[in-house]
Copies of this chain bind each other. A is one copy, B any other.
Amino acid sequence: MLGEHAPWLALSRVKGLGCVSFKRLIAHFGDPTRALAAAPSELAAIEGLQRDAIDGIVGFTQWAEVDSDLQRIRSAGITLVRYTDANYPARLRTIADPPPLLYVKGALTAADDKAVAIVGSRSASDYGRRVARDLARGLASFGFTVVSGMARGIDGMAHETALNCHGRTIAVLGSGVERAYPPEHERLYQRIAEQGAVISELPMGTKPLAFNFPARNRLISGVSLGVVVVEATEKSGSLITASLAVDQGREVFAVPGEVGSSRSRGAHRLIRQGAKLVETVDDIIEEIAPQLARLSGGDGKTDARQLPQNSSAAAQKVFALLQQRSLQIDEIIENSGLVSAQVLGILLDLELQGYLRQLPGKVYTIET
């Protein structure tokens, strides 16, 4: 099955062929196999394709290396997800330079369309770690996938909390996906792989060089609806992520802290530049609600009296309960027999799609 990935790996070995050109090749040929068989003149007609890339494609011979790549990938239990695959993150596909291939340890699912990144300082304070935990817990409880970079400090706390709350989490590495980086996150890496995904665009064996991290950061924001910066000094990589997030049209959130703490200076700068100040997960949800509504296909003009046919059985169950009478959230959980995190996620989705309305005291009622 991995055989069909061979031409993708081949193209990714071609020097001078960047993500943007790769995307154009796929757009033109539909398949790397056809690109590898193309005449130089046809390749030359593709906008932006460099001379050395054309030469590399036309004269490609490293099939033995591709074969050994495939063996390494297979034996390490890594999955390759191509730009054209259904499980390639839909939102990542929309950035200017999406990676043609993702190396995945674990699995990407449709649930990951509802993802928010939490990033921050490696040398986080107790305060920063506490806020990262609270936000990750809140996001997980509303069914969001928590995205981060698996670094020490804030990143690690975000992943760990999502896992502990039985939520999904994605770690984006700036090195080969087959190995935990930093090494002390080996156990965390294994847990993420089981309950989410560790992903990278970099070939197996790529070392975690500082050089790779800014490019990695564009993937953190790229797969996410928004990026929350928890603690960041003024030179933090998190500010790069925030800046890339803005370029990609993602929401940027920042958590304030005490004036005088160098760890909060970056976040404060972001807030001055227009990032939304975040105290609780509600501040995040409020801001991305319009995008979530689009995600769920809601347009505010839905027939409020019944849910679409393709709604989940759990959502239908919750909705049916509320059709009888308005219920407090604890009653909904009890009467539905569903776990609270699932109910919270369903209620949020239905509210955003305009089917439900929340009344004071966390009472939900059908929107008429």
Contact = CB atoms under 8 A, between A and B. Distances in A.
Interface of A: 127, 130-131, 134, 255-260, 264-265, 268, 271-272, 276-280, 283
B259 A258 contact: no
A262 B301 CA distance: 39
A271 B260 contact: no
Nearest to A278: B259
B256 A271 contact: yes
Contacts of A280: 259
A259 B279 contact: yes
A366 B130 CA distance: 50
A158 to B, nearest CB: 15
A131 B280 CA distance: 24
Contact of A272 (B134, B255, B258, B276): B276
Given A271-B271, A276-B272, A259 B256 contact: yes
Contacts of A255: 259
Given A256-B264, A257-B259, 13 more contacts: A131-B260, A134-B260, A256-B258, A256-B259, A256-B268, A257-B258, A259-B280, A260-B279, A268-B279, A271-B271, A271-B277, A272-B276, A272-B277
A14 to B, nearest CB: 45
Tallying the copies of this chain within the complex gives 2
Nearest to A279: B259
Contact of A127 (B258, B268, B277, B278): B258
Contacts of A134: 260
A277 B273 CA distance: 10
A127 B261 CA distance: 11
A254 to B, nearest CB: 10
B259 A131 contact: yes
Contacts of A256: 256-259, 264, 268, 271, 277
7 contacts: A131-B260, A255-B259, A256-B257, A256-B258, A256-B259, A259-B280, A260-B279
Contacts of A260: 130-131, 134, 279
A53 to B, nearest CB: 43
A281 B264 CA distance: 17
Contacts of A283: 272
Contacts of A279: 259-260, 265, 268
Contacts of A276: 272
A258 B258 CA distance: 6
A258 B127 CA distance: 8
Nearest to A283: B272
